[in-house]
Structure 1
């Protein structure tokens, strides 16, 4: 099972000092967080993508390439790649280039983002969000899998004889996750292609997460990719740890109360009861996280949010140290012990996808079952 850190890259004043990092300081902080993740034995670092304040993460591939040069093992990913407002042609080029730079240590998560004004900034209409996600991703798959592309759609100019450069490393496109909090269409999209489904698992109750993951699993099986419990699921989670629950809550409370997203809303106690947020001891984080599989099923990737709301970098690095030293080794062993033998322990990686060969389903633009159904009805 993979464990890692995902960041949204917000620039938020520390509520205990009133001081906010500069953009350069925040970027450097995220780099240090990624390096710490590898140092303590975590598997993945993922960055968000935003194009508006208070966020600084406008160029994920630039930052991930810098991190790739400073790491040896860490898998580089995104906690959002904006499939709606980015041109799929540029995504295809940028992430294939990053594959080559990093030796294949790349996957990425497609998302629609949560900031309405970004759409017109990039010439798009937010009312087309789902349709953009569907059309743009299908084009991206085509660009990564066909050497010459002739294509016409609704939202961009046609392509004639287009060749994406560089081609994916070893002729093998990166594995893709589709991230969504509440859109069943995105769970359906992930299932249709046999890709991964990631629920950020931060703001909603477990019943909602269970419903979304169940839909994805059922449709994954429907499209012939395997049994429902073999589908590739990733979950987020938000934690803050201390030597006691009381100490952790005392330290985290001012950051929670003033967080950009949920600050000045529900109390810390209300939020921890209603959502997967865990503020307490490492043992409490272990117990709560192990419980995620009770409603989401056996899953392959667990990501932790630890660096937002103005938390000082040294505090964040300490949290990652605790994760790597005390929490993740226990979680890794327990999840593996419980997992049935037929359920994948890890999502696909570049190494496993290359080993599967050029005729593996991953290399199809359309899933085999959908292609067969279309041929039968023609």
Structure 2
């Protein structure tokens, strides 16, 4: 009998399997159930009160920002807006779970994550207004440009995380993807590479049930998308994506484990997109109104507010103050987006290469001469 190679000695998938049910810490509508549910392979503790209060304020602000951006798109002041209404716990949880030195890799739907990370709201909407490929400084904010092609940024996150580790830093990369992105080849290539390299990267799948109009049932037959990590040796977990306490707890564990050398994680957040896919979409053509109403009853902001009130951590005055701050934020956004942007045509040649090629330099000079001749 041939002996198995030594590296095959521990091939049990158990260390990588997600919890059998999504991790949840805050009940829905006062449900009488165990306050905290631990993951199958580890304990997830409720975040500190100050973290939950910060998350609440940012979620209220993020929703008002999202509503304002949707209105601006209807007015023609944005080309389009992909709302994240209902996904605030995922967006804010992702931003708050990271250190300032970590990197975030967002998609086109993740503007709330951007503003939660401290990026100017006008800069966050620059891509959607059509003024530039990216309105903020990625290096300054440690936030990659928003990615529109599905899943292509997942490999970028893996590469950056591996590169940072080679440089000797403790930086972690977090890639935000949707359920539709898990059907793309780039997603699987990124997980395969991350697993082999043991890269300090976390993939957060915001499973909002639809890839535009395609329901999850038509995308995958897996018991949950979290199981997709197992085949690549990527530790996986699933979490209630409308429970920001659970999102913070699970992502915090995943990020710190990856930082400590534990390798990559795949976290599936079960959530719901209550708004259309974009401002150009009609969701009534592919999903019933009853389904949307069901998920409105699981609203992540209402859920957090109720939980904080029950714990005596949030007062009516606090709620009004958060709403007032969010309204002022939206008013400032309206005012500044009404101003015409200052554009530099020569900026087309910036950030193409770290050192411009002779051809690029020649093209830039030609455009400069043409502009001067007008």
TM-score category of the 2 structures, normalised to the smaller one? 0.3 to 0.5
Q: Which has the higher strand share?
A: 1
Instruction: Give the structure-1-normalised TM-score.
Output: 0.33
Instruction: Give the structure-2-normalised TM-score.
Output: 0.34
